[in-house]
Structure 1
């Protein structure tokens, strides 16, 4: 029996078809450093959490 997609999958598909980004946010890169997508704080490449605002990738 085939399983139906979850409501989250259907919602993500709906948004992506209309040009919205549905991927989980991750670190951005700037000058060979990690940049927080939330506040723009720059961190070393080994960072796992933003020391400015506390953001962590999901």
Structure 2
């Protein structure tokens, strides 16, 4: 529950808009339920904004 307490974390493949509640954010419908993209995540740093990040393959 450290992610919930700190309100920071990454969601790798959210499948519902309520998945962001763990981090204290509301997910837009366009961010959920789509195909899983390896290396992509929605990141919340505690400021209320969601960032989409892509981790490069080495």
Q: TM (normalized to structure 1)?
A: 0.23
TM-score, length of structure 2 as denominator length:
0.23
Larger Rg: 1
